[in-house]
A and B are shown apart, each in its own frame.
Chain A
């Protein structure tokens, strides 16, 4: 598949601290790529580099084959960027903000009207178009920013927390639109809402200390969890002695407790019977077993320490 974005040994330093460390990877055209990772790992800086918001200290970024530093005019036309914080002009209306963007990109009046109509309907912000942007909620501003980013019909969308500040219906509308656009546009986004990432991705890049430590779709990423399951057992009384006993069972991995709930990982469900044996004199109130997801994968203790 043809590359939409290619990074070659891209690095970024801020105050001599390495934020992005020699990244090399490509993103296919029309794909939906999620970037996840703990806070302050360089995800947003990576997005800023991809959008042209900041320039790399070394390495090259190619957008549709054009070097971003050498062909700024060409590459910037191809990108629509939505930053995390709202950056609309606070004294202009929502529509004026979007119109301003269309004027900057020389969008024709017909195209502007068609796209405004299409995207403002899709994101349900039509009734707010006449409102001064600083007087509407952040969630509406964020949706307006997405319309603004789409108004010049970019081929690449770079989104920092695309559903940030939004309520549940707005989140659904936003993902409905983005999933429709996938295929036609390459979409790269950063999100801390891992349930959203699980639902919306072709590929997930896991970022840590300025490097990509995992890369692939959800199934591929979860292969590294080696069929582990997450167990939660609620006891009537989980005292320290019982907790120590259960934690010492060899098949129990990464145990911890919250009140009377014993939480641990295990490779197969038979571990549950080891627990039942060890805690035969204690009353169990509730039990849940689930396959590991992204949240577990990203859990710092789990990801950092590993299971084996």
Chain B
């Protein structure tokens, strides 16, 4: 199934090759302009004495990567579901719902990683690359956790929403949270302590914190690395049940 979904994704990109390529390059540049250039002025003091470009580099790549998986999940699990196309046919194939959800997540992971590589390539022409090979690999490890976790959240929303307005408003809230409440762009230390305490136990913030902890101090925090993985596993099971119930199978 994974092979079938990957080939299908490739066909879909191929059928809109011009817009796909243009957006693949345009999107990282938009993120660079609105995240790097604007926040460079706002956040005058770099956090923890880390150079601003170094701080913001993985955040920009992660943003490009996780936001780029929304369209394919929206299409496959919301748009085609409410229009009774493809997904219902997929659900009749000899695979379990959990395998179906895992396959969608795997395809999103590949797509997200490709977008991350494209944005890394683009940014390398603009700002100096600050990380070693090991740090880069660890970044991709945390990026994968983030894609799987947020992919699961996007899938949950796609299955639960029956109207596009509901889906998009929910996505907007989550994107807003990723931008400003996860520590990805603005460190949680800027928030009042009580808010900081609440935000830091949200799995998205945990992944960001674990990534920054390793990239900027070389310390691996296993607790906040493993908790989001555990959450993702639970969400995968929940999504399988939700999909089964939604399709009345």
Q: Which residues of A contact B (CB under 8 A)?
A: 51-55, 72-74, 76-77, 79, 81, 83, 85-93, 96, 99-101, 103-105, 132
Contact = CB atoms under 8 A, between A and B. Distances in A.
A87 B85 contact: yes
Given A51-B92, A105-B94, A92 B8 contact: yes
Contacts of A53: 88, 91-92, 249
B88 A87 contact: yes
Contacts of B91: 53
Given A53-B88, A83-B88, A88-B85, A104 B12 contact: no
B50 interface: no
A76 B92 contact: yes
B22 to A, nearest CB: 18
Nearest to B248: A54
Contacts of A74: 94
B11 A92 contact: yes
A72 B95 CA distance: 8
A76 B249 CA distance: 13
28 contacts: A53-B88, A53-B91, A53-B249, A54-B249, A55-B249, A73-B95, A73-B96, A76-B92, A76-B93, A79-B92, A81-B89, A83-B84, A86-B85, A87-B84, A87-B85, A87-B86, A87-B88, A89-B8, A91-B16, A92-B12, A92-B15, A93-B15, A100-B7, A104-B4, A104-B90, A104-B93, A104-B95, A105-B94
B238 interface: no
Contacts of B16: 91
B41 interface: no
A52 B249 contact: yes
Contacts of B11: 92, 96
A54 B3 CA distance: 26
A104 B249 contact: no
B176 to A, nearest CB: 30
A73 B1 CA distance: 13
Nearest to B88: A87
B245 to A, nearest CB: 11
A103 B7 contact: yes
A100 B248 contact: no
B80 interface: yes
A142 to B, nearest CB: 14
Given A87-B86, A87-B88, 13 more contacts: A53-B88, A73-B94, A73-B95, A79-B92, A83-B88, A87-B85, A89-B8, A96-B11, A99-B7, A100-B4, A101-B89, A103-B4, A104-B4
Interface in B226-249: 247-249
Given A85-B84, A89-B8, A100-B8, A52 B92 contact: yes
Interface residues on B, range: 20 to 34
B107 to A, nearest CB: 13
Nearest 5 Cβ contacts at the A-B interface: A103-B4, A76-B94, A73-B94, A104-B93, A87-B85
Nearest to B3: A103
A89 B88 contact: no
Interface string B1-42: 101100110011001100000000000000000000000000
Nearest to B99: A73
A54 B91 CA distance: 10
Contacts of A86: 85
Contacts of B89: 81, 87, 101
A104 B80 contact: no
B92 A105 contact: no
A78 to B, nearest CB: 9
Contacts of A72: 94, 96
A255 to B, nearest CB: 44
Nearest to B244: A55
A11 B92 CA distance: 20
A2 to B, nearest CB: 22
Contacts of A105: 93-94
A130 to B, nearest CB: 12
A89 B80 contact: yes
A107 to B, nearest CB: 11
Contacts of B1: 104
- Residue from the set A55, A96, A103 with the largest chain B CB neighbour count within 10 Å: A103
A290 to B, nearest CB: 40
A93 B8 CA distance: 11
Contacts of B93: 76, 104-105
Nearest to A76: B94
Interface in B86-126: 86, 88-96
A202 B15 CA distance: 44
Residue among B4, B94, B247 with the most chain A CB within 10 A?
Answer: B94
A104 B247 CA distance: 19
A112 to B, nearest CB: 12
Nearest to A148: B89
